[in-house]
Amino acid sequence: MMNKRGCYCGIWDKDPDHFESRGVPRGYCGFCQTCKKPGHTRHFPGCVPYTGCWCDFHYRLTSLIHPLAIPGALLYFGAIAMGVFLWFFLKA
């Protein structure tokens, strides 16, 4: 049932009544738990055992903010490395 996005939109092909009864528009498999716009139900972007529903904007935002997601980990690591770099050179 999974697709390249990693969501559950494949259920539309198997059981369209599942989403239609909940008012989900075609092309989506749920509603964003942050902004309530149509979104996709998928695994949390970090290494947390949680499945939720996000629109594409909030899914990307969550992956950037959460330190256990790969983009977030790189962002936090870069910020820490920059802080150490600045502390080391401004101290001298």
Structural domain boundaries in the chain:
11-91
Tell me how far the alpha carbon of residue 22 is from its chain's centroid: 22
pLDDT score at 22: 92
pLDDT in tens, 49-84: 899 999 999 999 999 999 888 889 999 999 999 999
Q: Strand pairing partners for 39?
A: 30
**How confident is the model at residue 6, as a pLDDT?**
85
Asked if 42 and 54 count as a contact pair (C-beta separation under 8 A), the reply is yes
pLDDT band at residue 1, thresholds of 50, 70 and 90? low
| pLDDT of amino acid 2 | 60
Question: Mean pLDDT, the chain, as a whole number?
Answer: 90
Q: Which tops the pLDDT comparison, 25 or 91?
A: 25
Residues 17-48, buried b or exposed e (16+ Cβ, 10 A)? eebeeeebeeebbbbbebeeebbbbbebbbee
Q: What is the pTM of this model?
A: 0.78
- Helix residue ranges, H only, 1-92: 11-14, 16-20, 56-65, 70-91
Give the chain's end-to-end CA distance (angstroms, integer): 58
